[in-house]
Amino acid sequence: MSATIQQCLDCTTLLFPLRLLCPSCGGGRLGPATIEAGTIEHATTLHDGTVLATVRSDGGPALIARLTSPAAAGETVFLTNDPDAGPGHAFVPFTDTPSREDQ
């Protein structure tokens, strides 16, 4: 399983969350990129049992993800865009349209 995030087509920088312009080169040609796994940097459990984590993707940005099973810092998790993925995954939402903060 893998997750789709965004990549600048000009300088290849991986981006999360989605952007309208690349913060590295200023380019506007952005497309999807697939990443497989990441390492948990920090995890926290909410009052309802949801576990959120900062996950450093392999070769890419840090992602805020919902873990599908408890895990500790330093563990490797597989990234997914499927909110119903089984244990051992970190769910990251993906849409092809970045949100606009001015709306």
Interacting residues toward Zn ion by CB under 5 A: 8, 10-11, 13, 22, 24-25, 27
Closest by CA position to 67, among listed 80, 59, 56: 80
21: buried, middle or exposed (CB in 10 Å: 19+, 13-18, 0-12)?
middle
For Zn ion, give the closer residue by CB, 60 or 91: 60
State the nearest-atom distance from the C-beta of 32 to Zn ion, in Å.
Answer: 15
Q: 47: Cβ–Cβ under 8 A, 6 or more apart, which residues?
A: none
For Zn ion, give the closer residue by CB, 8 or 77: 8
For Zn ion, give the closer residue by CB, 20 or 25: 25
State the nearest-atom distance from the C-beta of 103 to Zn ion, in Å.
Answer: 24
With contact defined as beta carbons under 8 Å apart, do 57 and 77 qualify?
no
State the nearest-atom distance from the C-beta of 86 to Zn ion, in Å.
Answer: 34
